[in-house]
Amino acid sequence: MVSGRSDMPKTPTPKMPKAIKLLIAGGFGVGKTTMVGAVSEIRPLRTEETLTDRSVGVDDLSGVEAKSTTTVAMDFGRISIGDDFMLYLFGTPGQERFWFVWDELARGALGAVVLADTRRLADCFPSVDYFERRGTPFIVAVNCFEGAPMFQLDEVKLALNLGPDVPVLLCDARKRDSGKEVLIALVKHAYSKRPAAVS
Amino acid sequence: MNDWNGDWNPDEERLLDAPTVRPYVIARGRTEAQDRFDLITLAVTIRPTTGAEIGLDPEHQAIVRLCRRPLSVAEIAAHMDLPAGIVRVLLGDLFDRGFVAVQEPQPEVDVLDERMYRAVLDGLRAL
């Protein structure tokens, strides 16, 4: 027989970790998924969000077959923090026109890493703008590509017109230790920016 | 499947025109539950299915099997190769019928919690 919620046996809900979301943003090809993969305990997975008209009614299936649906793929990884917390790292979709996905990803996110490539610094402007506007704590991590011009971090900060309190650091997105340092810097920064601390 | 092989291009970002009919059929055309769960809402099975339940599709059963350990909506979607929105609909069914429990993510207000920051920092340092 089919049990509804009212007559189902009471099962104790197992203790579950709390999930925390961190974002890795930046321009196309800057190494977002590489960084996710370097620190994740699972191989990066890919999930897809479908852009459809979410107000479509239950019975309104007319035209589904002809509907042009945009699917945005996001790569993500996971780090368990003991039994209490589960950290999810999402690479944001590179095309900034997918704001609906950005908004969903940013909701409840602890903070974001904006990955920058000094050869194409402008590629990370939209991410910086987005997190500034939304008030999401973020740091900038300059991925050191071989052959890329080396800049002083201050120059990068100036070029990106960042506030004095936004940390900028160098990283190698392929290396686990480097990714780990970046995440630690982000969580520390988010901690300093939490509402209780800024008041 | 979304498993990666050796030849993946890490920053390949795909914009797909996915076949949408099958997912719509699985969700029976429902899209209204899509905003119900976050991508990182965790689900865990609290009551196994017997396979004889009315109204549970193979996809429902697959979620019940997958969630023996807590998994996020995003992970379920990736493992099942379904759009996250469809997984939200199916998960809503399972939650309403008492097969799974869900844990909403740390809400933004809880971001004040000092212990959480400390635990996360310690956890990251120990990686």
Q: For A10-66, what is each residue's pLDDT tens digit?
A: 456 678 898 999 999 998 889 999 999 999 999 999 998 876 544 333 444 444 444
The conformational region for residue B17 under phi > 0 = left, psi -120 to 50 = alpha, else beta, is beta
Task: Answer yes or no: is pLDDT of B2 > 60.
Answer: no
Residue of B13, B31, B47 with shortest CB distance to A93: B13
Q: Within a domain: residue B53?
A: yes
Measured CA to CA in angstroms, residue A177 lies from A29, A73, A145, B49, B126 at distances of: 21, 27, 16, 43, 11
Which neighbouring-strand residues pair with A71?
Answer: A50, B16
Segment A3-10 mean pLDDT? 46
Residue of B13, B97, B121 with shortest CB distance to A73: B13
Q: Say whether residue B51 is in contact with chain A using an 8 A CB cutoff.
A: no
Q: How far apart are the first and last CA of chain B?
A: 28
Task: Answer yes or no: is pLDDT of B80 > 50.
Answer: yes
B31/A94 touch (CB, cutoff 8 Å), yes or no: no
Residue of A89, A105, A86 lying closest to A32 (CA atoms): A89
**What one-character-per-residue DSSP string does A62-89 give?**
TTTTT---EEEEEEEEEEEETTTEEEEE
Instruction: Give the containing element (helix H, strand E) for B13.
Output: none
Residue of A58, A61, A74 with shortest CB distance to B32: A58
pLDDT at res. A90 = 96
Residue of B68, B123, B44 lying closest to A80 (CA atoms): B123
A:120-149 residues touching chain B, CB 8 A cutoff: none
pLDDT at res. A28 = 86
Greater confidence (A5 vs A108) lies with A108
Nearest-angstrom CA–CA distance, A110 and A103 = 13
The H-assigned helical ranges of chain A are 32-39, 99-106, 125-134, 153-159, 176-193, 195-198
Residue of A43, A78, A82 with shortest CB distance to B4: A43
pLDDT at res. A3 = 36
Greater confidence (A115 vs A6) lies with A115
Domain of residue B106, residue span: 21-125
Residue A127: partners with Cβ closer than 8 Å, 6 or more residues away: A25, A26, A27, A92, A96, A112, A114, A138
pLDDT at res. B32 = 58
pLDDT at res. A145 = 80
* 3-class DSSP state of B83: coil
Residue B72: give its domain's CATH number: 1.10.10
Q: Within a domain: residue B13?
A: no
Residue B90: partners with Cβ closer than 8 Å, 6 or more residues away: B26, B27, B57, B59, B60, B63
Measured CA to CA in angstroms, residue A73 lies from A42, A62, A163, B2, B14 at distances of: 18, 26, 31, 11, 6
Task: Convert the pLDDT of each residue in B16-42 to its tens digit.
Answer: 444 555 666 667 667 655 567 999 999
CA B88 distance to own-chain centroid:
7
* Angstroms from B40 CA to nearest CA on chain A: 6
Task: Convert the pLDDT of each residue in A123-171 to its tens digit.
Answer: 999 999 999 999 999 999 999 887 777 778 889 999 999 999 999 999 9
Task: Convert the pLDDT of each residue in B96-120 to its tens digit.
Answer: 999 999 998 866 655 557 889 999 9
Q: Say whether residue B41 is in contact with chain A using an 8 A CB cutoff.
A: yes
B72/A2 touch (CB, cutoff 8 Å), yes or no: no
Q: How many domains does chain B have?
A: 1
A 10 A CB-CB count for B117 gives: 18
pLDDT at res. A57 = 39
Nearest-angstrom CA–CA distance, B90 and B27 = 7
Residue of A154, A146, A147, A137 lying closest to A174 (CA atoms): A146
* 3-class DSSP state of A97: coil
How many CA atoms, within 13 angstroms, populate the side-chain half-sphere of residue A12?
A: 2
What residue of B is the nearest CA neighbor of A62? B29
Q: Say whether residue A113 is in contact with chain B using an 8 A CB cutoff.
A: no
Give residue B82's pLDDT band: very low, low, confident or very high (50, 70, 90).
Answer: very high
Segment B51-66 mean pLDDT? 92
What residue of A is the nearest CA neighbor of B85? A49
Nearest-angstrom CA–CA distance, B90 and B102 = 13
Residue A155: partners with Cβ closer than 8 Å, 6 or more residues away: none
* 3-class DSSP state of A45: strand
pTM of the model: 0.81
Q: What per-residue string of b and e applies to A81-102 under the rule 16 or more CB within 10 Å gives b? A: beeebbbbbbbbbbeeebeebb
**CA triplet B53, B58, B63: central angle to 5 degrees?**
95
Residue A196: partners with Cβ closer than 8 Å, 6 or more residues away: B112
pLDDT at res. A56 = 37
Share of chain A above pLDDT 90, in %: 57
Domain A18-49+69-198 bears CATH identifier 3.40.50.300 = yes
